[in-house]
Structure 1
Amino acid sequence: MFYDPRTGTHGLPHNPWTALVTPRPIGWVSSRSATDLPNLAPYSFFNAAATHPPFVMLSSTPRKDSLTNIETTGVFAINIVGAELAEAMSRSSAPVPPEVNEFSIAGVTERPCRSIDAPCVAESTVVIECILNRVISLAPKSGLPCDTHIVLGEVTGIEIADHVMRDGRVRTDLIRPVSRLGYLDYAVTEQTFEIPRPGS
């Protein structure tokens, strides 16, 4: 099949787009409002954006409390979701007012970050602390309405639990990160394999 998402319809009962670019890592974003209210929300449009220095990116569609907090305070954290936190992550996606604490809804422990003034999930095996670099609001050339905002964060601190490391390397199979597939489907990375680069 072929369809033009700008002008046509796919004719399917569900939009196939989010099932095509997968698996997508989940950025479990923790932030704090200007009035000191904690916020925790999962973003499946999330990834690393650079290495030296490290940057992350996430996409907010539409504008969410996390984005408002990040723009207001200039800081946020990414909590990597291991398999044991999948249900908690899902609970934190509930559409609730800004004054509701998603840490409580999720049943996870809020604790301070080390390099920034933001909360993070104590149970997460990896926490990536970030300062806001910029927010880019997308403006499609097609003229279609768009309420998508790309957040670029510069990494200021990385915390990795000792038990997910072996021989000086982070072990993905020990983190067992949860990723988003299409629709309401998720996956857990448990089996990995190595392919040497040519010439290495």
Structure 2
Amino acid sequence: MEGTPDDFGPYRLLAGGVVPRPIAWVSSRSTDGVDNLAPYSFFNVVAYDPPVVMFAPVGVGEDLKDTPRNILDTEEFVVNVVTEDLVEAMNATSATLDDGESEFDHADLEKVEATTVDVARVADAKVAFECELYDSMEVGSSTMILGEVVYAHVADGVTTPEGKLDVNKLDVVGRLSGGGYTRTRDRFSLERPP
């Protein structure tokens, strides 16, 4: 079968064909001091010098959800990495809540204040990136948020003896499509050709 993205349904085509996708579990704080936490699977790293990550929530202008609105207002956020032990809580934070309600409370998650930005982070996240807004842009019906990583939290249990992140110790969960997720336990290595 062949055709344009519209022939397949563009969301389903991209969400089902670009898999697995990492999950940005983004914490932000409103100008009124309400903590927000929401998962986004249209997420990735953009650059390492400077270190920049991006995620692209659906919505533009007046249709922005709490997370992008908070970030555009405050220019700060944290990306918490979703590991298998936190996947149920992550799913709980995708619920639609009333204004003024915090997903941290809804999912019964412990939070701690970030070090360099005025945002809470997930206390049990094995990796968390504190970010300052680098840029944003509307891309069709989504708003792409780019954040410069200004501080990182990495749990001791997922590092090498030299203090580097050890991906083999990090049981990250990835997004498929619909209600599908995947674990990163089945790993293999390839040598790059010269």
Report if TM-score (shorter chain) is over 0.5.
yes
Residue of structure 1 equivalent to 2:100: 99
More helix by percentage? 2
**Which structure 2 residue ranges, 5 or more long, are not aligned?**
none
Whole-Å Cα distance in 2 between the matches of residues 32 and 196 of structure 1? 43
The secondary structure found in structure 1 opposite 2:5 is coil
Which residue of structure 2 lines up, in the alignment, with residue 141 of structure 1? none
2:149 to 144, 149, 155: 155
Alignment-mate amino acid for residue 91 of structure 1: A
Aligned match of 1:33: 30
Contact 1:174 1:190 in 2 (8 A): no
Q: Distance in 2 between matches of 1:16 and 1:56?
A: 23
Size of the aligned set, in residue pairs, is 188
Secondary structure of the 1:2 match is coil
- Asked whether the 8 Å contact 2:5–2:13 carries over to 1, the reply is no
Which residue identity lines up with residue 192 of structure 2 in the other structure? R
Kindly indicate whether residue 60 of structure 2 is the aligned counterpart of residue 59 of structure 1: no
CA contact (8 A) 2:12 2:177 kept: no
The structure whose Rg is larger is: 1
Match of 2:8 in 1: 10
Task: Extract unaligned runs of 5+ from structure 1.
Answer: 139-145
Specify the alignment match of 1:142 in structure 2: none
- Which residue is 1:194 aligned to? 189
Post-superposition offset of 1:132: 0.3
2: distance between equivalents of 1:95 and 1:78? 20
Percent sequence identity over aligned pairs: 36
Provide the secondary structure at the position in 2 that maps to 1:24.
Answer: coil
Following the alignment from structure 2 to structure 1, what is the Cα–Cα distance between the partners of residues 183 and 99?
30
SS in 2 for 1:89: helix
Correspondence list, 1:1-200, <5 A: 1-6=1-6, 9-10=7-8, 15-62=12-59, 63-138=64-139, 146-168=140-162, 169-199=164-194
Q: CA–CA distance in 2 between the matches of 1:3 and 1:107?
A: 45
For normalisation by structure 1, the TM-score amounts to: 0.89
Q: Deviations over 1:73-132 (max 9, x none)?
A: 110000001100000000000011231110011221111001111110000000100000
Separation of aligned partners in 2, 1:43 and 1:187 = 15
